[in-house]
Structure 1
Amino acid sequence: MLLDRVAGYVADAAGASVDHIKVVLLLFAAVPLSLVYPYLPPSTRSPLVHIYSLALVTVFCCFTLPWTNGFLQLLASSIVTWCIVKVGVKQKWGASMQWIVFAVALGHLTFKQVPDALNIIAFMRDPTFSKIDISGSHLVLVMKLHSFACSVYDGQRPLEELDETQKASRIPEVPGLLPFLGYAFFMPSMLVGPSFTYASYDAFTSHRLFAKEQAAGGKTPPKVVDPTVIPPGRRRKAAKRLLTGVFFLVIYSLYGGQYNMARLLDSSFVKGKSFWAKFVFMNIAGAFARFKYYAVWCIAYVLLDSWNMNANVWLRECIYKRLAKKGRKPGFKSTQITFIVSALWHGVNPCYLMTFVLGGFCQAVNRSLRAGVRPFALPPGALTTPSSIGTPVPMPKVDVQPGDKSAPPPRNLPKVKLQPPPQTPIKTLYDIVGTICTLTTLNFAVVPFLLLDARLSIRAWREVDFYALYMIFIPFLVLNVFGGVGVLKKYQKRRDRKRTEREEEQERRRIEWEAREERKRQLRGEGLPSLGLDVEEMLREEEEEERRAAAAAAGQSEGKKEL
């Protein structure tokens, strides 16, 4: 087969495995294939767009890659999910439906991952992971299936109970099996992701995402929907992202072996090196380890035309926010459960738990620092910038056809601009120190994720004296366990109250001073343009009258003296 020969040639030249090269070549091949989607008939008129995705994915998995068995398992998992949702809506299972789908999807994934984790002999025979399977696609599918169930559940809830993101992604009615399978096996995201909502897929395949108001026959009214409109600059942005992905791929290929986290386990390499030398190497190796993910994400970004590319949205919207009780905000427990779910989603290897549980504590410390310490880097009373999550606008249900006069989707929506907090020198220093601490802690935490061996991970941590554990757990104990955040918030309130009282006193004095000055101006006739000249004239007349009266009185007294 041509792809096998090309992949074998490239693999020999690059020193990589054939399976990895195949996946990379298929990612590049998916770019021109994905350009066809906007020109296919809308899904409201033809199922061709769904069939197109299913056909390409079948060719990729069953005829190009040796994933036939895995593809059939994913297909079965998707059909089971659709049946659960269909029955759950009909039987009114409520919130239980989304968690049943989550348990089934994640359980199937875990069931597949356990044999791989326990197959130590296979790992020892192939320690470089030269074989690649459909596990990555299965990870993406789990997010899609659970997200779909959550969106259907949101479609059954009153709008008053939903936030803006949930309103935008809700599904009022369960779609048919073919559109659902087209969503689950959408070709551009099948190999490496990303995951996205069914509402986004429906807007894309129905062409509502590309709809535009247009005057019919040169007249201003009526408005029609033009299904051929493609966002301007789409190909230029895609090419830029593709080149960025290639850049990261080249950098990783050139320097990934030199800056490999496993070199910290080589006694000949670390011998004689100081703590700071090993510290710098660990952080450089952590950055290069992420480059391969950046490369794949950038290429996937090209395929999906700027749709979200990571699992954070799924974890936040479908796990984290739904764990909190109604009317309450998620707390530390919700954070830790979310990170544990993320670890189980990646695999059953305990190294994933080491990385993500540590990430949960990092998140808790970050919140405590932001709530307790960050306000002291700002002027008293200054408001911090509220967090903003871009949410897609819900598209109206329109059967997009040439000349159709249906209501087009909203355009020119106002953009909310958030003003940043005042950037003081202390705030700048806080940002710099926070960025450095975040990156160094992240590179420390990902060591188990990269090595996938708990014993070796602890050994690598020992080489750098477990520095990040001190950076995480000392602030956590001080701020979260011993009540440091509460003490700092009380001091903040006292500081802000003093500042408020001082400003109120200054404002009171300013108002009193302005009132006194206003009275003086009124007495002088200033500040009253319509009466000022009359008052001055009256004062002059009164002075003249007084002088005349005085002169007359003086003349009368002199006349009496003469008599």
Structure 2
Amino acid sequence: MLLEGSRCCSRFCFVIAFGYLTLCQVSRVYLFDYGQYSADFTGPMMIITQKITSLAFEIHDGMARKEEHLTPVQKSLAVRTMPSLLEYLSYNCNFMGILAGPLYTYKDYIAFIEGRTLHVKCAEVNGKGNGRCGKSEPSPVSAVLCKLLVCGISLSFHLTVTKVFPVAYNIDENFVTTASLTSRVLYLYISLLAARPKYYFAWNLADAINNAAGFGFNGYDGKGNARWDLISNLNIVNIEFATSFKMFIDNWNIQTALWFKRVCYDRCLYHPTIATFMLSAMWHGVYPGYCMTFFTGIPMTLAARAIRNNFRFYFIKLPAVKLFYDVITWIATMIAISYTVVPFVLLSVEPSLKFYSSWYYCLHIVSLLVILVLPMKSRQKENEQNHSKQKRLEVENVLTINSYSAMNNNLNQIPRPS
């Protein structure tokens, strides 16, 4: 960052951090123990890679780009001065998030260290407080205990149910040949449902650790209750009842999804969805199952977006029809998600291909057909339309102001009666 300056630091930091992370992941998989996780030192490297690249882009936005070229989110997160060595190391290596994160922005972390969190979060609420901001920062005890309870339930569920419904049983030859389609679909859903709570456990525990240190306060809700979800990484209810692929992704590993959006999706001019999924596959590791999952997720996401854009507005007018639509889309989303992430759990090429071939690659084929048949609006065209609309509104505002100014001048020139 110091050698290259703010103009080029984002590119160099991105390449160097990702290159080092990839070397760590290759050594873990192919030099140590394939799939056994006994040398899983890459977890902290993944989090630090996020922090390094996030800070590099925020410095680039704040010190090398013009204000009018930034999005509202980039403006709010832009770092205007180069951090000191102590600030840099504190952000990347503080004890609260060194093992499992989660990721958080540099400005939020510095506000916490300097004791400005309460003031900053209260100022974000319509520019003023909500009646509670004059008090000291609330206690995180209740939030921490609640998240620890979720950790206990998640871990217990995972350790018990996973043994009964292992994901690998989805490719058992006897099960594939004898079970009905309904049984296979139900088992696929339940086995992947049982695999998710281990992530619920890790992310809630990491969130609770930060909250216990006082980090994570996010202001007050409409009822005046303190919110400790500033760096929360998941919303379990929205995950398990997601009615779209996007809804699931937006509530799963939230901080990482925001990182992908900020460093890739918002900055990629062409095919941002494909680029984001490719980056996600690289970041997660070099296991073939990771690549298969994320490359399967590309057509799934594009197809789900196409269906939603072309058909959803027909079903949202009446509450009963919308409820029916939500149930159908929930079932479809759960099946699609489970189908997509099986290689993420199996890791290897052979069992992953065996699973997809047992399903005759049906969802791959359906998603590709949907993409080919249904019209889709490109990201570039959407950005151009939004930009032209914004320019048109700015011109209209200027013309309106000028017309009012001219009217006032004309009125002022009218002689007033004595």
Matched, 1:152 2:90: no
Give the CA deviation at 1:161: 2.3
Asked whether the equivalents of residues 361 and 472 of structure 1 are also in contact (C-alpha less than 8 Å), the reply is yes
Matched, 1:322 2:267: yes
**What is the distance in 1 between the residues matched to 2:182 and 2:361?**
13
Asked whether the equivalents of residues 361 and 476 of structure 1 are also in contact (C-alpha less than 8 Å), the reply is yes
Asked whether the equivalents of residues 211 and 229 of structure 1 are also in contact (C-alpha less than 8 Å), the reply is no
Write out per-residue CA displacement over residues 111-151 of structure 1, whole angstroms, 9 at most, x where no aligned residue: 122233334x843xxx6x26143211111111100000011
Asked whether the equivalents of residues 212 and 229 of structure 1 are also in contact (C-alpha less than 8 Å), the reply is no
Runs (5+) with no aligned partner, structure 2 = 122-132, 211-215, 217-228, 234-252, 379-418
Q: Which residue of 2 aligns with 1:88?
A: 4
Q: Which residue of 2 aligns with 1:475?
A: 370
Q: Which residue of 1 aligns with 2:350?
A: 455
Give the CA deviation at 1:87: 2.7
User: SS where residue 187 of structure 1 aligns?
Assistant: coil
Q: Which residue of 2 aligns with 1:396?
A: none
1:186 to 91, 94, 100: 94
Specify the code of the residue in structure 1 equivalent to 2:370.
P
Give the CA deviation at 1:203: 0.7
Matched, 1:167 2:75: yes
User: SS where residue 446 of structure 1 aligns?
Assistant: helix
Specify the code of the residue in structure 1 equivalent to 2:349.
A
**What is the distance in 1 between the residues matched to 2:37 and 2:75?**
44
Write out per-residue CA displacement over residues 364-418 of structure 1, whole angstroms, 9 at most, x where no aligned residue: 1222122211122244xxxxxxxxxxxxxxxxxxxxxxxxxxxxxxxxxxxxxxx
Q: Which residue of 1 aligns with 2:27?
A: 115
Give the CA deviation at 1:265: 3.0
Give the CA deviation at 1:269: 4.5
User: SS where residue 373 of structure 1 aligns?
Assistant: helix
Asked whether the equivalents of residues 28 and 40 of structure 2 are also in contact (C-alpha less than 8 Å), the reply is no
**What is the distance in 2 between the residues matched to 1:130 and 1:319?**
29
User: SS where residue 257 of structure 1 aligns?
Assistant: helix
2:117 to 191, 198, 209: 209
Asked whether the equivalents of residues 28 and 39 of structure 2 are also in contact (C-alpha less than 8 Å), the reply is no
Matched, 1:433 2:323: no
Matched, 1:466 2:361: yes
Q: Residues 104 and 275 from structure 1, CA distance in 2 versus in 1: closer, same or farther, beyond 3 angstroms?
A: same
Give the CA deviation at 1:447: 0.9
Asked whether the equivalents of residues 105 and 146 of structure 1 are also in contact (C-alpha less than 8 Å), the reply is yes
Greater shift in the superposed pair: 109-118 or 262-271: 262-271
**What is the distance in 2 between the residues matched to 1:431 and 1:360?**
22
2:152 to 218, 221, 246: 246
Q: Which residue of 2 aligns with 1:339?
A: 277
Percent identity for Structure 1 against Structure 2: 27
Matched, 1:131 2:38: yes
Asked whether the equivalents of residues 478 and 484 of structure 1 are also in contact (C-alpha less than 8 Å), the reply is no
Q: Which residue of 2 aligns with 1:200?
A: 108
Asked whether the equivalents of residues 54 and 105 of structure 2 are also in contact (C-alpha less than 8 Å), the reply is yes
**What is the distance in 1 between the residues matched to 2:300 and 2:178?**
31
Q: Residues 361 and 154 from structure 1, CA distance in 2 versus in 1: closer, same or farther, beyond 3 angstroms?
A: same
1:52-63 to structure 2, matched below 5 A, reads: none
Specify the code of the residue in structure 1 equivalent to 2:193.
A
1:215-230 to structure 2, matched below 5 A, reads: 229-230=136-137
Asked whether the equivalents of residues 51 and 92 of structure 2 are also in contact (C-alpha less than 8 Å), the reply is yes
Give the CA deviation at 1:308: 3.9
Q: Which residue of 2 aligns with 1:283?
A: 189
Specify the code of the residue in structure 1 equivalent to 2:266.
K
**What is the distance in 2 between the residues matched to 1:373 and 1:207?**
49
Query: Larger Rg: 1 or 2?
Result: 1
**What is the distance in 1 between the residues matched to 2:19 and 2:377?**
39
Specify the code of the residue in structure 2 equivalent to 1:250.
S
Q: Which residue of 2 aligns with 1:98?
A: 10
Write out per-residue CA displacement over residues 439-471 of structure 1, whole angstroms, 9 at most, x where no aligned residue: 110111111111111111111223344342244
Write out per-residue CA displacement over residues 226-258 of structure 1, whole angstroms, 9 at most, x where no aligned residue: 8x92225x2101210111111101100111122
Write out per-residue CA displacement over residues 253-301 of structure 1, whole angstroms, 9 at most, x where no aligned residue: 1111221111223334545212221221111111111110011111112
**What is the distance in 2 between the residues matched to 1:132 and 1:118?**
11
Specify the code of the residue in structure 2 equivalent to 1:87.
L
**What is the distance in 1 between the residues matched to 2:376 and 2:112?**
49
Write out per-residue CA displacement over residues 154-193 of structure 1, whole angstroms, 9 at most, x where no aligned residue: 1123332222221221110011001110100122211111
Write out per-residue CA displacement over residues 477-501 of structure 1, whole angstroms, 9 at most, x where no aligned residue: 211xxx4779xxxxxxxxxxxxxxx
1:232-381 to structure 2, matched below 5 A, reads: 232=139, 234-304=140-210, 305=216, 306=229, 307-309=231-233, 310=253, 311-324=256-269, 333-379=271-317
Asked whether the equivalents of residues 279 and 464 of structure 1 are also in contact (C-alpha less than 8 Å), the reply is no
**What is the distance in 2 between the residues matched to 1:136 and 1:166?**
27
Specify the code of the residue in structure 1 equivalent to 2:198.
K
User: SS where residue 163 of structure 2 aligns?
Assistant: coil
Give the TM-score taking structure 1 as reference length.
0.55
Give the TM-score taking structure 2 as reference length.
0.73
**What is the distance in 1 between the residues matched to 2:119 and 2:179?**
61
Greater shift in the superposed pair: 351-360 or 439-448: 351-360
CA RMSD of aligned residues (A): 2.4
Q: Which residue of 2 aligns with 1:61?
A: none
**What is the distance in 2 between the residues matched to 1:336 and 1:457?**
21
Q: Residues 315 and 274 from structure 1, CA distance in 2 versus in 1: closer, same or farther, beyond 3 angstroms?
A: same
Q: Residues 454 and 235 from structure 1, CA distance in 2 versus in 1: closer, same or farther, beyond 3 angstroms?
A: same
Q: Residues 212 and 154 from structure 1, CA distance in 2 versus in 1: closer, same or farther, beyond 3 angstroms?
A: closer
Q: Which residue of 2 aligns with 1:142?
A: 49
Specify the code of the residue in structure 2 equivalent to 1:251.
F
State how many pairs are aligned: 327
Specify the code of the residue in structure 2 equivalent to 1:239.
L
Runs (5+) with no aligned partner, structure 1 = 1-84, 214-224, 325-330, 380-422, 487-563
**What is the distance in 2 between the residues matched to 1:182 and 1:122?**
32
**What is the distance in 1 between the residues matched to 2:104 and 2:120?**
23
Give the CA deviation at 1:339: 0.4
Write out per-residue CA displacement over residues 49-103 of structure 1, whole angstroms, 9 at most, x where no aligned residue: xxxxxxxxxxxxxxxxxxxxxxxxxxxxxxxxxxxx12333xx5x2x42122111
Specify the code of the residue in structure 2 equivalent to 1:436.
I
Q: Which residue of 1 aligns with 2:415?
A: none
**What is the distance in 2 between the residues matched to 1:205 and 1:485?**
44
Specify the code of the residue in structure 1 equivalent to 2:102.
P
Q: Which residue of 2 aligns with 1:231?
A: 138
Asked whether the equivalents of residues 151 and 170 of structure 1 are also in contact (C-alpha less than 8 Å), the reply is yes
Asked whether the equivalents of residues 62 and 79 of structure 2 are also in contact (C-alpha less than 8 Å), the reply is yes
